[in-house]
Amino acid sequence: MASWGKRLAGVRGVLLDISGVLFDGSEDGGVPIPGSVEAVARLKRSQLKVRFCTNESQKSRGDLVRLLRHHGFDISESEVTAPAPAASLILKERGLRPHLLVQDGVRSEFDQIDTSNPNCVVIADAGESFSYQNMNKAFRVLMELESPVLISLGKGRYYKETSGLMLDVGAYMKALEYACGIEAEVVGKPSPEYFRSALKEMGVEAHEAIMIGDDIVGDVGGAQRCGMRALQVRTGKFRPSDERHPDVKADGYVENLAEAVDLLLQHADE
């Protein structure tokens, strides 16, 4: 493999995944991954541009940022690209009235959206709200539409909480896709539009940007398909088999965010 110097040359902007990179979530707020608070601070003091690009869809962007600040992270709402506000914009633009299958914590992102007489379904990482009854309700709404529209906030397979692996929204998206014979529109990683909106907000071209994430497919593969480079951290939902993934090869594998930032600060301006 090429030297780190070659692999990181010309990087001007860094997109950071949040869950599994900054902290491991849990029902009672989660714990920061060791070294990550300092790593974010060092990155923000450098000349590199930084933006957070998450698929978190259980909480509103405001609640997520408050939680991260509580853990000591230097982060503000305007620095975060999150799927619920992005979806809210899309719904407005297209005049869509969603049936929401989401957790209460993220419902405020849709406060300005008309949800009467729904003409589409939006699903997020709903956790316990993915009951049979709620899934069946969403299914019936879709089956009654002439051209069913299903919008999924991300399509992750699973994520890691301190208690263990947790099924993510992608699994439930697949269930509804199969039951209705349709294909969902994904708002979130690895959708190229989503990465491009984060790059635009950061003001950096794809070839000058690098994504750091724990998801070999959603973070690494998705970013690379947009022309970015990508590192996988060995934290969060990382599994050793990811380094032998049949389709996706990261530009580098690092122990954690702290090591990634060490390497970036050393080599990015070479």
Q: Under the rule (CB under 8 A), what is the footprint of its own copies?
A: 126-133, 135-136, 139-140, 143, 157-158, 164-168, 170-172, 174-181
Q: Which is nearer to its own copies, 82 or 126 (CB)?
A: 126
- Which residue shows structure tokens 């902007």? 13
Q: What is the DSSP string of 11-57?
A: --EEEE--BTTTEEB-TT--EEPTTHHHHHHHHHHSSSEEEEE----
Q: Which is nearer to its own copies, 138 or 257 (CB)?
A: 138
CB-CB contact of 167 with 160 (8 Å): no
Q: Which is nearer to its own copies, 4 or 238 (CB)?
A: 238
Q: How far is the CB of 209 from its own copies (least distance, A)?
A: 28
Q: Which is nearer to its own copies, 176 or 204 (CB)?
A: 176
In angstroms, rounded to a whole number, what is the distance separating the alpha carbons of residues 106 and 90?
A: 16
Q: How far is the CB of 150 from its own copies (least distance, A)?
A: 13
Q: How far is the CB of 33 from its own copies (least distance, A)?
A: 21
Q: How far is the CB of 101 from its own copies (least distance, A)?
A: 12
